[in-house]
Amino acid sequence: MKEDAGSLALSASQVSFSYEEGTCALHQVDFHAQAGEFVALLASNGSGKTTLIKVLAGLLQPQQGTVLVSGQDIRKIAATELYQRVGLVLQNPNDQLFGATVEEDVAFGPRNLGLTENEVQKRVTESLEAVAAGPLRSRAIHHLSFGEQKRVAVAGVLAMHAATLILDEPTAGLDPMGETLMMRLLNRLNREQHITIVLATHSVDMLPLFAARICVLSHGKLLKVGPPEEIFCDHDMLARASLRLPYVSRLLHELKRYDGVPINGLPLTVGEARKQLLELLPEEVLTKPELQALPRPPEEDLS
Amino acid sequence: MFDLFSDIMACRTNALTRVDSRVKLVSALAVLVAVLCSTHLALPLAVLAACLAAMLALRLPVRLTLLRLAAPAVVVLVLTVVQVFMYGVTPLWTFTLGGCTFTATVEGAWKGALLGARVFGAVSAMLLLSSVTPAHQLFHALRWLGMPKTWVEVALLMYRYVFVLLDETADVATAQRVRLGYAGVSRSLSSLGVLSGTVIVRSLDQSMRTHEAMVLRCYRGSMPFGPLPVLGRKERWLLLLVPLAMAGLCCLAECLGRPQ
């Protein structure tokens, strides 16, 4: 169920949510994601990002504010329709993978939609191929590695053909290579299948490469929204949110060392790094067209 | 602990894993019924020997097989002791302990041996079945055999999450052990209580999170199962012949074992 590019895929306005024991998890939060956009919700632990994504996915009802999916109030959308528009990938794949085998788990959603067995199998094949998990098809879930489980969890949601994919800490618990693979996979889904990606994370290092827009959340409030250059220029704001600057220099050093990207002189700022990447990285690594049109970043030394 | 419950051995490729799970299930059930109905030692012992030989031939780890047979062995021991001393009239051996006289009987010894052989024969048949059939295939075979879908769904979820909870239990137990939670009897008992409580709470948490994930994929109260593969001609013949063969063997064992 794809959305028109540029239209509002998901939005929340003035959303507040408190748990029964009194913890105020969200306070008048505004959020939106346009169709085909790659948005990151950046926040430290306990800042309310999981609550916000559960609200966005319709699992929690906010006490105040409204959530719109494709312009329609989430409360007025039937569950079957809602979850074909919005898919949620939970942080721990064990919560999400309940089928006995990979194939059965990925087929769970399509079968619940009442699709024919041919269509179910087609979706299973497509989804597994999209996350490079085709060879895992007949494996039992409890025999998979953590990274494989994460990819299969994404495949299970992809099989619902949701136009928007919300992911809670998709790189948590993965090794550095697994993190990179997961982020590149999400980037590919965003680019090739035009799936709107909303990613909640506290991992700052990968975001400048992949996210078009970052929303920083702290103590249930939205601190700042903007492109990575703007967000990672505001050191004080990041410190207030218990976050830090990305290891940009380190990342580019690794790219030079292992991928042979000819970076001469390590950049000291996010802006410098992005400029060098745009000049040097091949299209398949960094292909977001909107990045080409980004304004020149400020010159401060941020590393 | 993981190995004890895992079906990882059943995921290997060998002559028996290639057989349709429904054929294996029906055959195992036929063997089970024959062993349980047997009134002589021959058939259960033959089944035990055949199953152990098959497991050895399939290169299943001997230690794992013995470990899996350990629990039924305890049951057999208790059963045999009870039968030897509580059943029959012909004395075999008498001894006195703490002023009480205990008499083992010939009939009791035979009955204990028969019960023990039945338990070992039946358990070995089930062990062989679980060693050559992945759990999910077994549950789907049970569905084909008429087990209610809800039971199959619950069984599949239980089997899926038993490993998650085992991991959780192991983690909590380790955390307790490294902080001397098992030093001394009273501390051990207290730690065991906390461990049990923690596992129950975590399993409840896990069930809620899993339910949320199921709802996100349009779960409406029952798990949708895919179609089972069509049985081939060979499998259909096997489904007919194996129970008949077991019935024949059972009759043969009865005839041969009947007192003249």
| Each residue's pLDDT tens digit, B81-120 | 888 888 888 888 888 888 888 888 888 898 999 999 999 9
CB atoms under 10 Å from CB of A262, counted, come to 9
HSE-up of residue B17 (Cα within 13 Å, Cβ side): 17
Contact A108 B163 (CB under 8 A): no
Phi-psi region of A28 (alpha: psi -120 to 50; beta: other; left: phi over 0): left
- For chain B, helix (H) and strand (E) counts, in that order, are 9, 2
B160 chain-A contacts, CB cut-off 8 A: 97-100, 141-142
Alpha carbon B200 to its chain centroid, in Å, reads 24
Does A161 lie in the same domain as A252? Answer: no
What confidence score (pLDDT) does residue A52 get? 94
Q: What is the pLDDT of residues B182-236, one digit of tens each?
A: 888 888 999 999 999 999 998 999 899 999 999 988 888 888 888 888 888 888 9
Check if the beta carbon of residue A22 is closer than 8 Å to that of residue A48. no
Contact B224 A141 (CB under 8 A): no
Does residue A204 form part of some domain?
yes
B136 chain-A contacts, CB cut-off 8 A: 100-101, 104, 140
Does A142 lie in the same domain as A267? Answer: no
Does residue A3 form part of some domain?
no
Share above pLDDT 70 across residues of chain B, in percent, rounded to a whole number = 97
Contact B226 A117 (CB under 8 A): yes
Angstrom distance (rounded) from CA B162 to CA B202: 12
Does A99 lie in the same domain as A164? Answer: yes
Strands laid side by side in the A213-218 sheet = A86-89, A164-168, A196-201, A38-43, A213-218, A221-226
Contact A79 B224 (CB under 8 A): no
What confidence score (pLDDT) does residue A40 get? 94
Work out the angle at residue B13's Cα, subtended by the Cα atoms of residues B8 and B15, and round it to the nearest 5 degrees. 125
Angstrom distance (rounded) from CA A203 to CA A190: 19
**Chain A residues near any Cβ of chain B (below 8 Å):** 57, 59, 79-80, 83, 87-88, 90, 92, 94-101, 104, 107-109, 111-113, 117, 120, 139-143, 156-157, 160
- Of A140-149, A171-180, B33-42, B251-260, the range with the lowest mean pLDDT is B251-260
Does residue A37 form part of some domain?
yes
Q: What is the pLDDT of residues B2-43, one digit of tens each?
A: 667 777 777 788 888 888 999 999 999 999 999 998 888 888
Does residue A2 form part of some domain?
no
Does A21 lie in the same domain as A135? Answer: yes
Give the residues across from B102 on adjacent strands. B95
Check if the beta carbon of residue B27 is closer than 8 Å to that of residue B242. yes
Q: Is the pLDDT of residue A268 over 60?
A: no
A120 chain-B contacts, CB cut-off 8 A: 226
Contact A100 B212 (CB under 8 A): no
Q: What are phi and psi of B35, to 5 degrees?
A: -65, -40
Does A253 lie in the same domain as A242? Answer: no
Work out the angle at residue A39's Cα, subtended by the Cα atoms of residues A33 and A40, and round it to the nearest 5 degrees. 135
Does A169 lie in the same domain as A86? Answer: yes
Contact A157 B209 (CB under 8 A): no
Does A270 lie in the same domain as A218? Answer: no
pTM (2 decimals)?
0.76
Does residue A1 form part of some domain?
no
Does A83 lie in the same domain as A54? Answer: yes
Does A132 lie in the same domain as A262? Answer: no
Does residue A303 form part of some domain?
no
CA dihedral B16, B21, B26, B29 (to 10 degrees): 80
Does A268 lie in the same domain as A230? Answer: no
Q: Rounded to the nearest 10 degrees, what angle do helices A102-112 and A117-130 cross at?
A: 130
- Of A149-163, A226-240, A252-266, B46-60, the range with the lowest mean pLDDT is A252-266
Cβ neighbours for A194, distance < 8 A, ≥ 6 positions apart:
A2, A5, A35, A36
Does A160 lie in the same domain as A56? Answer: yes
Angstrom distance (rounded) from CA A97 to CA A74: 25
Nearest CA in chain A to B137: A100
Last residue of a domain, one of A204, A222, A246: A246
Bridge pairing between strands B91-97 and B100-105: antiparallel
B218 chain-A contacts, CB cut-off 8 A: 79-80, 83, 109, 112-113, 160
What confidence score (pLDDT) does residue A2 get? 56
Domain count of chain A?
A: 2
Looking at residue A21, which CATH number applies to its domain?
A: 3.40.50.300
Domain holding A280, by residue range, is 247-296
B219 chain-A contacts, CB cut-off 8 A: 108, 112
Does A174 lie in the same domain as A56? Answer: yes
Binning pLDDT at 50, 70 and 90, where does residue B178 land?
A: confident
Q: Which residue from B135, B136, B210 is facing A95, i.e. has the nearest CB?
A: B210
B154 chain-A contacts, CB cut-off 8 A: none
Does residue A98 form part of some domain?
yes
Does residue A261 form part of some domain?
yes
Token readout for B7 is 């079906």
Please give, rounded to a whole number of angstroms, the shortest distance from the CA of A80 to a CA of chain B. 6
Check if the beta carbon of residue B171 is closer than 8 Å to that of residue B209. no
